[in-house]
Structure 1
Amino acid sequence: MLEQQTAPIVQQEGIDWLSLAESLGNQFAAREVEADESDLFVADNIARLKASGLVAAGVPTELGGGGASYTDLCAVLRILGRYSSSTALAFSMHTHQVMVPTWRWHHQNAPVDGLLKRVATEQLVLLSSGGSDWLQSNGTAIKVEGGFLITARKIFASGAPAANLLMTSAVYEDPEIGSTVLHFAVPMNSQGVSIEPTWQAMGMRGTGSHDVVLSNVFVPDAAIVLRRAQGKWHFIFHLISMVAIPLIYSVYVGVAEAVRDRAIQLAMKRHTDEHLCYMVGGLDNELTATKLALEHMISTAVVSQPGFETTNQIMTGRTLVAKAVLNVADLAMEIAGGSAFYRKLGLEKLFRDIQGVRYHPLREEAQRKLSGQLAFGWDTSCL
C-alpha cells in the first residue's frame, strides 16, 4: 500500500490553469536557482504543485480531477518552463503519465479509472522510465509463482525523489515466444526499490533524475498491464509519442522564451547597434519556428489517432523544435556577449538547461530514419 498523502484537492470546472501556472512560476524561480547551484531536487516546488491541484489537473472531473484540457496542460508546462526549467521538466514526466491513461479512458473506455482516481484522491506523483527504456526496455523479469521478480536499473528518472508510483517495464525471456517486454507499475516504497542519487548533470539539475534500482522486486501477474515484442513499435508507444512529446517539448519552448527575454535584457545598453538588431531578429525567427513546430505537434496530438503517421508528425516536430531551441540559445549567448558567461546573470543556467532538448526520444537520427522508411513505404510490421 502507498502512504496516504495530504487531503485531495477539490477542483472547480473552468479554473484558469494558465494564470495559476504564472502565479506558481513566480514562486518557483528562487528555488530553481538554489537547486541548480546545489544539485538539489525542487521538492518544495513539486509540493506546491500538489497543493495547487495541478498534479491531478489532467484527471477527468468525472474521476475526481481537474479536467484540464491537453492544450491547457501544454501551456501550463510552457509557462512553468519560463520560470523554473527543472520543475517544469520533472512535472512534464508526471503529466504525460496522467494524460496517456486519460486519453485511453476517453477514447477506448480502458479500465484505467482506478489509477486516475488514485492520482486525484491521493495526489500520487507518477514516475516514468519510458525515455530510457523505449522500445527495447531494460532489466530482467524472472517468472516465479504468482508473478515475476524484476531486476533493473532505470536511468534519467526525472522527479524520482517525489514519486509514489514507477511506471516501467522489463524483459521476460518467454520460452514460447521469445523476448517479451512486460509493462507494470511499482510503488516506490516496495521492497527492493531504491533511488541511487546519480544526478550531477550539466543542466536541469533540479529534476532529481536519479537512477531507480529494482532488486528482485516482486510484481504479481495481475499487475502486468501489457506484454509486447521487444524492439518493435506497438500501439502504446505511438500513444506515448503522441501524448508525451508535445508536453515535454512545451517545457523547452518555455525555456527558450526565457532565454530570449534574458538576452534582450542583457543587451539593452547596446540596442542601437544595427548588427545586434540583426542578430535579435534572427533569434526571434528561431523562437517563432519553435512555437510553430510546437503548435503543429499539439494540434496533431489533439485531432489524431496513434499510429505511424501521427508518430512521424510528432517526432518530426520534436526535431524541428530541438534544432530551433538550440539555435535560440546559441544566438542569445552571442547577443548578450561576454556577460552571458557570468553565472550570476542567469543566461548561463538557461543555456545549460536547454541542452536537455537533445536527449529525449526520438533523437534526430532515429527520427529521420523512421521518416525515410515511411516515405519509402516500408512494411510497418517490420519496424
Structure 2
Amino acid sequence: MNAGSTLAFQAPALGHDAAGRTPVGPGLDRLTPVLNAIAQAAARHDRDGSFPFDSIERLHLTGILSLTVPTALGGGGGGLALAAEAVAKVGEACPATALVLAMQFIRQAAIARSAAWPLELRQRIGRDAVTSGALINVLRVEPELGSPTHGGLPATTARLRVGHWSITGRKRYATGAPGLRWMEVLARTDEDVPRIGNFLVPADSSGVEVVETWNHLGMRASGSHDVVFADVAVPLDHGIGLVPAAEWSRPDATQSAWSTTLVAAVYTGVAHAARRWILGFLHDRVPGSLGAPLATLPRVQEAVGEIEALLAANARITEAVAFATDSGHPPTTAESSLHKVTLAENAVRAVERAVSLAGNHAHDRALPLERHWRDVQAARVHVPTADAAHLAAGRLALSHSQASRNLPA
C-alpha cells in the first residue's frame, strides 16, 4: 500500500488491540459504512476551509446524530461510553465533523437530563435531531470575555420586551455555526440584578449573522465562526436556567465528564488516524541502504510501542470515566479536567511520535499525516487548559491537606 493513499476504514476485529481499540459497540455498526466517505471528504474540507455538510448528512442518515436523544423521542438513548466511541471513530475519519458531533451529543444529553428545560422544548429539540438531523450547540465564548469558565459576566445581553426576549451580542468559536439549527446563547439579562442563562435561538432567526472568521491552523472544517445577534427576538420560555450571576458557575460533575471526555475523544481519533498512517508507511518504506522495511528496525518498533502505550492509556481512561458516569457516579469536575488534559496530551504526543518516524514525509501536504499533526494541536486549547486544570486541582489538594492537618489528633 502506498503511504500517501487514503487508507480504507474497516470494521475492527473482535477484542482489544495493544492500543486499546474496541469493536464497534451496539448501535454503532451502522456508522462503519460511512466512515470511508467521511474520511475521503476530510482533506477537501480542510483544504477549502469548508463546512462538511455532506459528512453531517451521512451521519444523519445513519441515525448517529440522535444517539444521545432519549429513546422515548426516537433517539438512541446512548450514554457517555457509546458517545465517546462514536466520536473517536468519526474523529479518526474527520475530526472537524467529530467535533460538531461531540457538541451535538453533549447538548442533547444535557437537555434530556435538565429539569430547567420546558418539556415541550426538550421534546422538540430531541425530535428535530431524530427526524431531520438538526444540530445544536451552546455559544459562550466572547471577544471581550473569552471563555466564561474564567469568570465574569457575558457581554451578550437579553432584554425583556413585551412577550419576548431580545438578544444582542457577539459570540466567538461557535463550532458548527454554518450547520446549526439551534443555538444556545449564554447571555445576561439587563435587570438591576443580572441573571445568567442560556437562550435558545433558532439559527434562521432575523438578526442572526454568521461571520466567517474561522481561519486556524487545524480543525479548519469545523465552521467555528463568530455569530452576531442583533435584537434577536425569542419567546419567553426560550430563556433556560436563569439564575443570579453568583450561582451560575456551580460545578456539574456529569456535565464536566461528558464535555471533557467527548472533546478529548475527537483528538484520540486523530491520533488513531496518525497511527494507522504511520504503520502503513513503515511497512511500505524500504530505504535502499537498509534493503528492508523500516518496520523491521528495533528502534522503530520501540517508537511504535510508545504510540501504543499512549493510546492504550487513553482507551482505559475514557472507558473508566464513561463507565462511572453512565453508572451515576461521575468524577468530580476537577478530576474530569485532569483527565481531559491527560487525554489531550497523550493524543498530541502520539501524533508527534508518528511525525518523528515519518521524517520529511510528515511535512508533505499531499500526505495526511501533515493534516493530522495540525488538527491535533487544537486538543490543548479546549477548556479546561492544562494550567487551569492543574491550578484548580492543586488548590483543592492543598485545601484538603490543610483541613486534615487541623483535625484533632
For this structure pair, what is the TM-score category when the shorter chain's length is used for normalisation? 0.7 to 0.9
Q: 1:236 to 1:377 in 2, by over 3 A?
A: closer
Partner of 2:405: none
> If each structure's helix is expressed as a fraction of its own residues, which one has the higher value?
1
Compute the displacement of 1:224 (Å): 1.0
Matched, 1:272 2:296: yes
RMSD, aligned α-carbons: 2.4
Compute the displacement of 1:122 (Å): 4.2
Partner of 1:38: 48
Partner of 1:370: 392
Partner of 2:15: none
Compute the displacement of 1:92 (Å): 1.1
CA distance in 1, matches of 2:200, 2:138: 10
Matched, 1:246 2:261: yes
The alignment of Structure 1 onto Structure 2 pairs a total of residues equal to: 358
Q: Secondary structure at the match of 2:296?
A: coil
CA distance in 2, matches of 1:67, 1:130: 26
Matched, 1:349 2:371: yes
Select the residue among 187, 191, 197 that pairs with 1:170. Answer: 187
Q: Which runs of 5+ in 1 are unaligned?
A: 1-14, 379-383
1:322-362 Cα deviation digits (max 9, x unpaired): 11111112111111111111111210000111111112211
Select the residue among 193, 217, 238 that pairs with 2:208. Answer: 193
- Normalised by the size of structure 1, how large is the TM-score? 0.86
Between stretches 231-240 and 328-337, larger displacement belongs to 231-240
What percentage of residue pairs aligned between the two structures are identical?
A: 26
CA distance in 2, matches of 1:272, 1:54: 40
Q: Secondary structure at the match of 1:19?
A: coil
Question: Which of the two has higher C-alpha Rg?
Answer: 2
Partner amino acid for 1:159?
G
Partner of 1:84: 94
Select the residue among 9, 19, 24 that pairs with 2:34. Answer: 24
Between stretches 52-61 and 132-141, larger displacement belongs to 132-141
1:11-60 Cα deviation digits (max 9, x unpaired): xxxx9432222211111111111101111111111111122211222212
- Listed as ranges, the matches of 1:216-365 within 5 Å are 216-230=231-245, 234-235=249-250, 237-268=252-283, 269-304=293-328, 310-365=332-387
Compute the displacement of 1:278 (Å): 2.2
Q: Secondary structure at the match of 1:18?
A: coil
CA distance in 2, matches of 1:259, 1:235: 38
Partner of 1:113: 123
- Listed as ranges, the matches of 1:49-64 within 5 Å are 49-64=59-74
Compute the displacement of 1:236 (Å): 7.1
- Normalised by the size of structure 2, how large is the TM-score? 0.81
CA distance in 2, matches of 1:34, 1:369: 40
Select the residue among 41, 48, 69 that pairs with 2:58. Answer: 48
CA distance in 2, matches of 1:375, 1:148: 43
Compute the displacement of 1:77 (Å): 0.9
Select the residue among 132, 148, 151 that pairs with 1:134. Answer: 148
Between stretches 51-60 and 236-245, larger displacement belongs to 236-245
Compute the displacement of 1:125 (Å): 1.2
| Aligned 8 A contact 2:117 2:241 in 1 | no
CA distance in 1, matches of 2:247, 2:257: 17
Compute the displacement of 1:128 (Å): 2.3
Compute the displacement of 1:166 (Å): 0.3
| Aligned 8 A contact 2:87 2:265 in 1 | yes
